[in-house]
Chain A
Amino acid sequence: AQSVAQPEDQVNVAEGNPLTVKCTYSVSGNPYLFWYVQYPNRGLQFLLKYITGDNLVKGSYGFEAEFNKSQTSFHLKKPSALVSDSALYFCAVRSNSGGGADGLTFGKGTHLIIQP
């Protein structure tokens, strides 16, 4: 069975500072990894994904994530945080084995709060 851990319920960062939201995963086979963002009472919006290739993936709104196979991690990062980045962030995984029709497995989410 696959799983995702987001160890922090909440991350507080001052505006303009770099931010990191942590994610580790467990999956059989090679992982496909995703980050989504959710604003209040809205659906999830896709930020970025890692499928294969370069370990550093760049996505929407200046976010990037680094795939680390040895540490089974896929931390989300941004060099300079904006107040508008405040939201709930989800890490998700699916295995590259099998059809993958059973969708993504999500972490519990991390509230990112950017303070002015």
Chain B
Amino acid sequence: SQTIHQWPATLVQPVGSPLSLECTVEGTSNPNLYWYRQAAGRGLQLLFYSVGIGQISSEVPQNLSASRPQDRQFILSSKKLLLSDSGFYLCAWGGSTGVTLKLFFGSGTQLSVL
């Protein structure tokens, strides 16, 4: 069965420090991968999605970047964090056909930038 791992669960970082959040998927090949951000426990904003290795689409301009160095690995990064980057970050995987039309979410990373 497919599983998705996201870490760390909680992260506290000073303003101006770098960021690296990692997400890996097991049990499936060539998944579509997604990074969402949820502010203040409410709506989800799509940040990035990827349909394959090295292919990244950005939905909103921001201080963050994403990379997909391997088929089942998706990384969210920043060179210098801002206070406004605080939030709950969710990785997800999905497909485009059949039962994989839905998204499967990781457990999330609570990022606090101080």
Contact = CB atoms under 8 A, between A and B. Distances in A.
Contacts of A109: 41-44
Interface in B1-37: 6, 32, 34, 36
Interface residues of A, number: 27
Contacts of B41: 40, 88, 109
Contacts of A56: none
Interface in A28-58: 32, 34, 36, 40-46, 49, 51
Contacts of A49: 101-102
Contacts of A94: 101
Contact of B103 (A41, A88, A104): A104
Contacts of A92: 103
Interface in A4-26: none
B110 interface: yes
Given A100-B101, A108-B42, 9 more contacts: A41-B108, A43-B6, A43-B90, A43-B108, A46-B103, A99-B51, A103-B34, A103-B92, A109-B43
